[in-house]
Amino acid sequence: MLDKWAQYVEMGEMRKTFPLDASGHKPARVIESIKNDIRKYVKRERRKDLPETVDFWDFDCRVGVDAESAEGVHLAVINAAIDTASQAEGTTVYVEVLTKQGFRTSKPREIAPSISPPEKTDSVEDADPNDGTDAE
């Protein structure tokens, strides 16, 4: 069996520990700078030419306080994961973005059964006891 990480040898990878306490900068601006670095990296990787058999560039991402505690996240939620990691105790955020080859898969074709809308029934259970009638 091939090593899980063998597919990343020829493709890009970004493994970096970002410090959160930059002198002269507000913490919120440092976090925004980290997110901007990641966006730039992803855009740069997506601009690379695709091999003939590949449909798109995909990314495996991990975010955490350090490399040992980093958890896998989807690229779409990496900014939220960075926010969460920065709010945890620690002075650094570890981000790992590995580029891999992505292949589109076709969705299974489903035949929708003909479904009729449910019929309305007036039942005692559905009736409101305070429907405007006075109980004296």
For residue 18, is it within any domain?
yes
For residue 123, is it within any domain?
no
For residue 113, is it within any domain?
no
**Exposure string for 101-122, b = 16+ CB within 10 A, e = fewer:** beeeeeeeeeeeeeeeeeeeee
pLDDT 10s digits, 85-111: 999 878 999 999 999 999 888 877 776
**pLDDT (0 to 100) of residue 77:** 95
The domain total for the chain is: 1
Segment holding 23, helix H or strand E: none
**pLDDT (0 to 100) of residue 46:** 93
Verdict on whether the full-model pTM lies above 0.85? no
pLDDT 10s digits, 7-59: 444 568 999 999 998 888 998 999 999 999 999 999 999 999 999 999 999 99
Q: What range does the domain containing 83 cover?
A: 9-102
**pLDDT (0 to 100) of residue 63:** 95
